[in-house]
Structure 1
Amino acid sequence: MDLTGAIWRKSSRSSGNQGDCVEVADNLPGVVGVRDSKDRQGPALTFTPATWRAFLAYARQH
């Protein structure tokens, strides 16, 4: 998956955890990218927007 042009952002809730967080890019059509903020050149996971929304809904409930 080509993530060129992805605009990566960290959650506002990620401060104070020693840099252990993920970055999300949701500006590309049809795909949401997720990567480790400490390894920006490393691999990234990709999800469909629907799958990402389902994950977020589940995480918010638990």
Structure 2
Amino acid sequence: MTSDIIVNIYMSLKKNQEKKENNSKYKKMSLKEFPDYDFLKINLLKYNKYSFIQNVSKN
């Protein structure tokens, strides 16, 4: 479920970036350089690590 949310956020960021491509400020940025991308990736890793720890402690 969380991965679906992340994908939705990622896709909306991608759409926003495509809209901003006409703007010179964003024109040269690739998707990997998009500011929120790394933030999302880091949070997803943290969440997965946390849920993994929770699952292990339950079992």
Pairwise same-fold verdict (TM > 0.5):
no
Q: Higher RCO, 1 or 2 (CA under 8 Å, sep at least 6)?
A: 2
**Which is richer in helix?**
2
Q: Output the TM-score relative to the length of structure 1.
A: 0.31
**Which is richer in strand?**
1
Q: Which has the larger radius of gyration?
A: 2
